[in-house]
Amino acid sequence: MDIQKILDSFTYEESENQEGTFTPEHVRYDCTFEHDGKYFTCEYQVNPRYHKFPLDAKEILNCILSDCTGYEECKDIYDFLDNFGYGNSAKNMRKGAEIYERMQEQYQELHEWLNNGEYAELYDKSFEEEW
């Protein structure tokens, strides 16, 4: 797999949907990567006051892979809520459940885009200092 080609395919644009961002200062971007004629699209939010531009493909892939690892390491939603500190309040548990569901969707989408070997290769490469 040519990881550099995946990184070079990276494009992004400001999303039309800016509702529900992390904070009012955050901006949501729609990001796309291509591999073997298949596309993977994700959203990425940044606060422009504290983030350098242009957006970095490696940084975004690292975040996606980190989210997927967080999802993989939890045996179910209850384990996720407990491991990530969503507590016992209904409000926090709803928020945690929303995040868990989004991470699950992203995990499935990423595995539809890459086969298991390609996913493992990208995951391993993301830990290298220079990739």
pTM: 0.85
The residue range of the domain holding 82 is 3-125
Question: Would residue 131 count as lying in a domain?
Answer: no
How many alpha carbons lie under 13 Å from residue 49 in its C-beta half-sphere?
A: 4
Asked whether residue 15 is assigned to any structural domain, the reply reads: yes
Total domains in the fold of the chain: 1
- Is 67 contained in some domain? yes
The answer to whether residue 130 sits within a structural domain is: no
Strands of the 11-14 sheet, one edge to the other: 11-14, 27-35, 38-46
State how far the Cα of 12 lies from the Cα of 47, in Å rounded to an integer.
15
Residue 113 lies in a domain: yes
* Average pLDDT per 10 consecutive residues for the chain, totaling 131 residues: 94 95 94 96 94 93 92 92 87 90 94 94 86 69
How far apart are alpha carbons 108 and 119 in whole angstroms? 12
